[in-house]
Amino acid sequence: MAGYQFIHLQTHPLVRSTMAGPDATRPVDEIMAEAFRLPGSCEHVASRQLPRVQGVPIDALIDELGRRVQEAGRISGRAIRKDRRVLVSMVTSHPTPTHQIEEETFDNWAKSSINWARSWAKAHHLDFFTAVHHRDEAYPHLHIYFLPRPDNGMKADNCHPGKVAKKMAEGQARNTGLSGKDVTRAGNKAYKAAMVEFQDEYWEKVSLDAGLTRTGPRRKRLSRGDWQREKASATRLARARRDAEALADRQAALEARTQVLEERESALDQQVIQMQAWTASREEALDTGCVAVKYALEALADQLPAEVADNIKRFLNQAEGIVAAAAVINAMSLRRAEATCASDNAAYSGLEMDRRSSFNSLPGQT
């Protein structure tokens, strides 16, 4: 069941700001309590389940946060304000209802989301710490937590792409002589553009392969029929991408095997050439040696008793048989090497057929 992606990014202080009122950003202790499903922290969940945690355990994450806050204070020479935002959280949800999603589908999506989150964190001067899987709500989702670094003063807002863009745009607006609402408008525009880019990156790196759309039907003002067709199209696109990746892997394996066969064929060709040269030289040496011995023994036989002469003649006949047998053995060895080359050539042809068959199996190929 396809649908559209959901991902949200936020920063959190150690304690709730008293100046921001009831809508202030939730502090670290509250979101951690909810993530770990502590009693009284998640009243919206009808049947709480112990979450699966990847990475650093939640209690160790909290300990590391405290250590980093202390280190940042030591570096700056004064304690960090308690309402400074010192944690970055990311929430991403799969659009298939929890009771319908297949285990493999969720695991693949979660793995892809976490791998992307790790690389995203590095690009924004954050350290990935913990990913929490929640499967006890209407839709399965992930909570992912990152920590800023002490040498950055633990300023999580400096690692949030939207807030960084807004601050920069507002500064540029003031420098050009703007003030009041004009500055705010410029900042909000930059914030929105940065977050659209954030959403686009997640879709390209994760949601596209999962068969999810970038936005939902309301944003595009689609009818139900158009929305169903767009979801089906996203599913087909994801399947085609997976097929293409599988084909690329198979192609790489075939090319590696082809290279091995080509190297083996070249080595066998050299062995055949060497064996032919060695056989020719050996036969020539045997022929020359046998002829000389034969003439010498025949000349000697005329001077020996008849019984000894007969033994010499029998020996000469056996020697000729041995030479003939050696020639047969050499010929067999040569044919065996040539047969091995032919077998490798047949295997190479089979690889080419496999390659064409794999390509023709792609959607849209005939």
SS (H, E, C) 13-63: ECCCCCCCHHHCCCCHHHHHHHHCCCCCCCCCCCCCCCCEEEECCHHHHHH
Last residue of a domain, one of 166, 197, 215: 215
266 and 183 in a common domain: no
Last residue of a domain, one of 215, 240, 268: 215
The pTM for the full model equals 0.63
Residues across the chain = 366
Ordered strands of the 141-147 beta sheet: 6-13, 85-93, 141-147, 127-134, 52-55
Q: Which domain holds residue 324?
A: 254-360
User: Please, which residues bridge with residue 6 across strands?
Assistant: 93
Higher pLDDT, 154 or 41: 154
| 3-state SS, residue 83 | coil
158 and 42 in a common domain: yes
Q: Is residue 365 within 8 Å of residue 359, measured between CB atoms?
A: yes
Q: What is the mean pLDDT of the segment spanning 214-223?
A: 58
Higher pLDDT, 235 or 107: 107
Token pair in block for residue 128? 């990935």
107 and 154 in a common domain: yes
Low-confidence winner among 127-141, 254-268, 314-328, 352-366 (lowest mean pLDDT)? 352-366
Q: Is residue 226 within 8 Å of residue 213, measured between CB atoms?
A: no
How many domains does the chain divide into?
Answer: 2
Which residue stretches of the chain are H helix? Answer: 28-35, 58-76, 103-123, 161-175, 181-202, 208-210, 217-220, 224-301, 306-360
Last residue of a domain, one of 168, 190, 215: 215
283 and 149 in a common domain: no
37 phi and psi angles, rounded to 5 deg: 60, 45
User: Please, which residues bridge with residue 93 across strands?
Assistant: 6, 141
Q: Which pLDDT tens digit goes with each residue over 79-97?
A: 999 899 999 999 999 999 9
Q: Return all residues near 39 (Cβ < 8 A) that are at least 6 apart.
A: none
181 and 264 in a common domain: no
182 and 301 in a common domain: no
Higher pLDDT, 212 or 313: 212
pLDDT at 277: 77
195 and 300 in a common domain: no
Q: Is residue 174 within 8 Å of residue 25, measured between CB atoms?
A: no
Name residue, tokens 């010499």: 312
User: Please, what's the largest Cα pairwise distance for the chain?
Assistant: 134
pLDDT at 366: 44
262 and 198 in a common domain: no
